[in-house]
Amino acid sequence: MAQAQVVKAPSDDVVIQIVGMHKWYGQFHVLKDINLSVYRGERIVVCGPSGSGKSTMIRCVNRLEEHQRGQIIVEGTELTGDVRQIDAIRREVGMVFQQFNLFPHLTVMQNLTLAPMWVRKMPRAEAEATAMRYLERVRIPEQAHKFPGQLSGGQQQRVAIARSLCMNPKIMLFDEPTSALDPEMIKEVLDVMVELAESGMTMICVTHEMAFARRVAHRVIFMDGGEIIEQNDPENFFTHPKSDRTKLFLSQILGH
Amino acid sequence: MSDATATVRTERHPDLPPPATTVGVLGWLRTNLFSSWLNTALTLLGLYLLWLIVPPLLDWAVFSATITGEDRTACEPNPGACWVFIKVQFWQFIYGFYPPDQTWRVNLTFLLFVAGVAPVLIERIPGKKWALFYLLFAFPVIAYVLFVGGVFGLPLVETALWGGLSLTLVVSIIGIVASLPLGILLALGRRSKMPILRMLSVVFIEAWRGVPLISVLFMASVMLPLFLPEGVNFDKLLRALIGVALFSAAYMAEVVRGGLQAVPRGQYEAAAALGLSYWKTMGLIVLPQALKIVIPGIVNTFIGLFKDTTLVAIIGLFDLLGRVHTATTNAAWLGMSTEGYVFAGAVFWVFCFGMSRYSIRLERKLGAGQRRR
Ligand SMILES: Nc1ncnc2c1ncn2[C@@H]1O[C@H](COP(=O)(O)OP(=O)(O)O)[C@@H](O)[C@H]1O
Ligand SMILES: [Mg+2]
């Protein structure tokens, strides 16, 4: 069910191109013929019912999951089994998880400097300066020397965002970054994400925060049953959903 | 049905101290020893058993014991323990048949070991990196030269002469130091994505875990030479060391694997998403967490290994227990086996208890500030 490109992109420089991609977990056909191009500076929000394959799709982009058919091309490099290419792509693609996944045995500062120092071979002083800059951007510089377990959920997720940014990625993937947070902490994380969006970062964001989608997304993609069912700009997506499944989904998440 | 009522407070209630019966010595006695009739009965029974055991034990070990004198006739007037036996044999229990004029080499090695280990184990002493480097690379060479000799004018001391506590420590320290890295590699192998590597690790681990250490040692000393070409003959102690190290590595591997399984998948994923390679992920993220979780299991394996070294007596190496046993069969000291084994047991206990306490401290230190979600 290929649809024509309905949304104008912020540039015509394609940074992620997914073509005819399929994935199976054993016998289970989890992703079916995914076609998606992401342009530089574009911000995409992915939504859909639980189990529809949203996480699996974005995890294929940095090869946390392996696809079995079709092509995924990130920054001009196709994802194949080649470990060096995978590492190269992972350096350019940051990811933020629902469960934060901070390293609990390291301080916040060590969490932030580890990858720049060990992967990018950055000197410690420079890595720490960069880390401090990003901690200030996510508004928790005073927590630098605490352990993750001593922070609130919202603070942990902001550290996780800063940790990804320290690698200076060209693309950021978010997998339901606010779903594990208490309501009063969601805003502080979304604020950081809005700011990041305003800086021009290319983002793919799985979230059900519809206000966030309206505010920052160029494009909203709706998935169900392992397929991309619908895509549109946020305004039309929410006000004129085309498919019945989208209408049902929207009525469920907005209707109370 | 009565009316539902609630007292509504108009001012804050002050914080009050807890009731007197729950605090202090009396409170402690009450909650821990006399909280119910059954508890009271058990407490009294426990006190009665202590009364039965402790006084005669103290009498034997201390009040009626003999510590002065040079031979067993000194002990005859006293009904208690004859510690003279231990005193006379003491240096043999420590050094075996290491030539008495050369025992300074053993002492020096031990001091050099302590000098290296102290900064690694004790937080307040600086220079951890250097100490570790020294322990891993310089110390083994120095220790080998000092113990074996044959160079720099040091007379050669055959391993057959080694014995006593010093042999126990040599076998167990080498076993401990070799088994941890080997065990980690085996555990990683067992969880590897490469089927061949996985299979080799599983076969190795299960083969070594499936046989008793005694038979490993027997095979090392009796069967291995049969397979080696004529004329190739390597040291009996070395063979036993390899046997002990591989045997404990198999156990260690399973302990470490338990820790690896306890590290959430999200940790691997976060490391991968940051572009860390397999070895960096393992070395920087996964192993530090996994090993911390299994410190009690690791130390448990160390303690087991330490005590299992007594089995080398089977193949004619005389560690502390072996030396004690031989001494008790000496005609001049027949009938002293209780003293001998109590002494050997006490020495083993001191070392094992020390390891256990250290591991508890280490756990506490590493756990500080890192509450889990
Ligand atoms: N490792 C896995 N093995 C087998 N099935 C999986 C695995 N991960 C996810 N799935 C299944 O794939 C489907 C899509 O999962 P997911 O991408 O996590 O959905 P979403 O993020 O949209 O909720 C679900 O039905 C889920 O049960
Ligand atoms: Mg998901």
**pLDDT digit string (tens) for A242-256?**
889 999 998 888 765
Quote the pLDDT of residue B373.
40
Q: Which residue has tokens 């330490």?
A: B306
Largest alpha-carbon pair distance within chain A?
A: 55
Long-range contacts of A108-113 (CB under 8 A, 24+ apart): A108/A135, A108/A140, A108/A143, A108/A144, A108/A145, A108/A146, A108/A147, A108/A148, A108/A151, A108/A159, A109/A144, A109/A145, A111/A148, A111/A159, A111/A163, A112/A159, A112/A162, A112/A163, A112/A166, A113/A166
Return the amino acid letter for A179: S
| Contact at CB, A64 and B370, closer than 8 angstroms | no
pLDDT at B82 over 80: no
Lowest mean pLDDT among A133-147, B12-26, B208-222: B12-26
| Contact at CB, B267 and A101, closer than 8 angstroms | yes
Of B219, B83, B226, B241, give the one whose Cα is nearest residue B162: B241
Q: Is A164 on the interface with B (CB under 8 A)?
A: yes
A238 close to A222: Cβ distance less than 8 angstroms = no
pLDDT band at A190 (very low <50, low <70, confident <90, very high): very high
List of chain B residues whose C-beta atoms are within 8 Å of the C-beta of residue A174: none
The encoded tokens of residue A249 equal 């989904």
pLDDT at A2 over 50: no
For residue A176, give the ligand 1 atom closest to its CA: 21
List of chain B residues whose C-beta atoms are within 8 Å of the C-beta of residue A99: 264, 266
Q: What is the pLDDT of residues A10-68, one digit of tens each?
A: 777 899 999 999 999 999 999 999 999 999 999 999 999 999 999 999 999 999 999 99
The pTM assigned to this predicted structure is 0.82
Quote the pLDDT of residue B258.
92
d(CA B173, CA B34): 46
Rounded to a whole number of angstroms, the distance from the CA of A103 to the nearest CA of chain B is 7
Quote the pLDDT of residue B148.
80
Give domain B84-98+157-367's CATH number out of 1.10.10.60, 1.10.3720.10, 3.40.50.300, 3.90.1150.10: 1.10.3720.10
Q: Is A117 on the interface with B (CB under 8 A)?
A: no
B86 close to B71: Cβ distance less than 8 angstroms = no
Quote the pLDDT of residue B110.
87
DSSP state of B22: G
Quote the pLDDT of residue B231.
66
pLDDT at A4 over 60: no
Residue nearest (by alpha carbon) to ligand 1 atom 3? A25
Give SS3 for B45.
helix
Q: Is A87 on the interface with B (CB under 8 A)?
A: yes
Average pLDDT, chain B: 83
Lowest mean pLDDT among A66-70, B220-224, B242-246, B272-276: B220-224
pLDDT at A191 over 70: yes
Average pLDDT, chain A: 90
**How confident is the model over B104-114, as a mean pLDDT?**
85
C-alpha dihedral over B209, B212, B214, B220, to 10 degrees? -40
Q: What is the pLDDT of residues B326-344, one digit of tens each?
A: 878 877 777 777 878 888 8
**Bridge partner list, A228:** A223
Residues, chain B: 373
To the nearest 10 degrees (0 to 180), the angle between helices A183-198 and A153-165 is: 20
pLDDT band at A186 (very low <50, low <70, confident <90, very high): very high
Quote the pLDDT of residue B176.
86
